[in-house]
Structure 1
């Protein structure tokens, strides 16, 4: 039997990194699971792209101005970083790239004594990080190389046993301000479509199944929205409406009308902030669609929400704090106030 090519061994090393990442994340206790998961998932992604580039005959080395491979001081070849390979592999608006970029940045901002709360805050993105790897792995190397059958779905309690809105609010209150602001700034740079993509932030509805059990039943089944029939989609739309209406009385307690935002921000800034300035701000930061948009609900939900009942936009406390933080910088203030679409 002919020896395996080098890229195959790199691919197996990639899969081993991902297996380790999931094992460390799912272990009991609270000893740096998130940091370990990010580190090993990053290595898994790096080796996955290296294996793909090698198999495709593409370059994985850092070269000098004359096109020669370069070495580290210890003599090893210098390889392209994960960020460099991502830039070559993904299109700019690929949600998988946005998810990877998020974790590359988050890794250096984790404060270990708050790691459990940070992990809860980014749980959906963590799940997407893993699912995106599996999707890309199968896309590039086929079903035979998949790791999905080896990994188990983690058991969890807090999101089911606690009131969801209260649980999220509690978690956010315990995350260090610097991390929250970094996440907020990262999200503010995403389009609403990209931020809502499941490949960036994986979100699910858990609906207990109470029908009769059959031999074909699975404990948990994932169904893609595009695979649902019109009748099933209608039921899901009803479920989403029920959940949204149930949460609105809680979530909207902290929302503000535009005039209230103006009043709050103006009181904090040492420079003018009027209704016109607020309009400039939401346009500049892209937190809601323009007047007359086909879909008025496409907002950056951390900052702004569309109230369908009253057909108006309401804003969050996070939007107020974001504006105060951003507009306190003279250059940002000037850029916002002079911005034209």
Structure 2
């Protein structure tokens, strides 16, 4: 029997890193689980791309100007970083790359005593991190190499019966300000479609199933929206409506008109801030489309929402906080006010 190629061993090492990442994340207790998950998932992604490049004839080494491989002081070859391989493999706006970029940046900002709350804040992105690995693994190496059948859905205790909005507020209030601001800045740089992509931030509704059990039942079933029947879609719309009543302000309740945003920001910064300046700001940070846009509701929902009934935009307290933080910096203020389409 012929020996396995080197790339195959690298691939197995990649899968082992991911298995370990999931085991560490799902273990009981709260000892650095998120950081451990990110570290080992990053190693899993690095080795996955190395295996792909090796098998397909790509180059995984760092080279000098003459094209020769470079060695470390200990004699080992220098390999390209995860970021370098990502840049070669993914298109710039691939949601999988953006998700990876998010965790590369987040790892350096984790404060360990708040890690549990940070993990809750980014749970959807954490799930996407793993699902993206699995889908890319299968895409490159086939179903026989998949790890999904080896990973188990964890048993958990959760505040699943509490009001969802209050639970989210509690988590956010306990996350360090620096981490929240970094996540906010990262999200502000994303196009709305990209921010809403499940490959960047995986979001699901958990609905208890109360019907009679059948042999085909599974603990959890994932269904694509496009595969639902009209009747099932109607039920999902009903569920979204119920959840929106709990999580999203009804009509303009709790949101601000532009003039109210101006008043709050102007009182908090040392530079002038008028309605014209506010217009400059929402254009510069791209929080909503311009007037007359084909889809006026395509906003960055953390900051701005479109009210269809009154055909106007309203803004959030998060937008006010963001503007105060950003415009308190003189260079940012000057850039915003000098911006032209």
Q: For the residues of structure 2 that align with 1:234 and 1:215, how far apart are their CA atoms?
A: 26
Q: How does 1:199-214 map to 2 (within 5 A)?
A: 199-214=199-214
Q: Contact 1:165/1:251 (CA < 8 Å) preserved in 2?
A: no
Q: From the superposition, tell whether residues 111 and 250 of structure 1 become closer, same or farther in structure 2 (CA, over 3 Å).
A: farther
Q: For the residues of structure 1 that align with 2:196 and 2:249, how far apart are their CA atoms?
A: 22
Partner of 1:187: 187
How far off its partner does 1:249 sit?
4.3
Specify the SS of the correspondent of 1:214.
coil
Q: Contact 1:7/1:55 (CA < 8 Å) preserved in 2?
A: yes
How far off its partner does 1:287 sit?
0.8
Specify the SS of the correspondent of 1:305.
strand
Q: For the residues of structure 1 that align with 2:241 and 2:308, how far apart are their CA atoms?
A: 11
Partner of 2:72: 72
Q: Residues 21-41 of structure 1, C-alpha deviation per residue, up to 9 Å, x if partnerless?
A: 000000000000000000000
Q: For the residues of structure 2 that align with 1:246 and 1:294, how far apart are their CA atoms?
A: 29
Q: How does 1:1-341 map to 2 (within 5 A)?
A: 1-249=1-249, 254-341=254-341
Specify the SS of the correspondent of 2:65.
coil
Q: Residues 18-65 of structure 1, C-alpha deviation per residue, up to 9 Å, x if partnerless?
A: 000000000000000000000000000000000000000000000000
Q: Contact 2:99/2:200 (CA < 8 Å) preserved in 1?
A: yes
Q: For the residues of structure 1 that align with 2:206 and 2:26, how far apart are their CA atoms?
A: 20
How far off its partner does 1:167 sit?
0.8
Q: For the residues of structure 1 that align with 2:129 and 2:87, how far apart are their CA atoms?
A: 17
Specify the SS of the correspondent of 2:260.
helix
Q: From the superposition, tell whether residues 154 and 300 of structure 1 become closer, same or farther in structure 2 (CA, over 3 Å).
A: farther
Q: For the residues of structure 2 that align with 1:288 and 1:63, how far apart are their CA atoms?
A: 44
Q: From the superposition, tell whether residues 79 and 94 of structure 1 become closer, same or farther in structure 2 (CA, over 3 Å).
A: same
Q: For the residues of structure 1 that align with 2:249 and 2:92, how far apart are their CA atoms?
A: 38
Specify the SS of the correspondent of 1:66.
coil
Unaligned runs of 5+ in 1: none
Q: For the residues of structure 2 that align with 1:92 and 1:131, how far apart are their CA atoms?
A: 19
| TM-score normalized with structure 2 length | 0.96
Deviates more, 1:209-218 or 1:75-84: 209-218
Q: From the superposition, tell whether residues 161 and 238 of structure 1 become closer, same or farther in structure 2 (CA, over 3 Å).
A: closer
Q: For the residues of structure 1 that align with 2:251 and 2:47, how far apart are their CA atoms?
A: 42
How far off its partner does 1:155 sit?
3.1
- Say what the alpha-carbon RMSD is for the aligned residues: 1.5
Q: Contact 1:165/1:250 (CA < 8 Å) preserved in 2?
A: no
Specify the SS of the correspondent of 2:272.
coil
How far off its partner does 1:230 sit?
3.5
How far off its partner does 1:338 sit?
1.8
Q: From the superposition, tell whether residues 142 and 200 of structure 1 become closer, same or farther in structure 2 (CA, over 3 Å).
A: same
Deviates more, 1:243-252 or 1:276-285: 243-252
Q: Contact 1:158/1:167 (CA < 8 Å) preserved in 2?
A: no
Q: Residues 49-91 of structure 1, C-alpha deviation per residue, up to 9 Å, x if partnerless?
A: 0000000000000000000000111111000000000000000
Deviates more, 1:161-170 or 1:134-143: 161-170
The aligned length equals 341
How far off its partner does 1:251 sit?
10
Q: Residues 211-256 of structure 1, C-alpha deviation per residue, up to 9 Å, x if partnerless?
A: 2221111121010112223343233223222321343348965422
Q: For the residues of structure 2 that align with 1:229 and 1:302, how far apart are their CA atoms?
A: 31
Q: Contact 2:164/2:246 (CA < 8 Å) preserved in 1?
A: no
Specify the SS of the correspondent of 1:264.
helix
Greater than 4 Å deviation, 4+ residue runs: 249-253
How far off its partner does 1:127 sit?
0.3
Q: For the residues of structure 2 that align with 1:331 and 1:45, how far apart are their CA atoms?
A: 37
Q: For the residues of structure 2 that align with 1:32 and 1:240, how far apart are their CA atoms?
A: 34
Q: Contact 1:265/1:323 (CA < 8 Å) preserved in 2?
A: yes
Q: Contact 1:262/1:274 (CA < 8 Å) preserved in 2?
A: yes
Q: Contact 2:251/2:307 (CA < 8 Å) preserved in 1?
A: no
| TM-score normalized with structure 1 length | 0.96
Q: From the superposition, tell whether residues 270 and 331 of structure 1 become closer, same or farther in structure 2 (CA, over 3 Å).
A: same
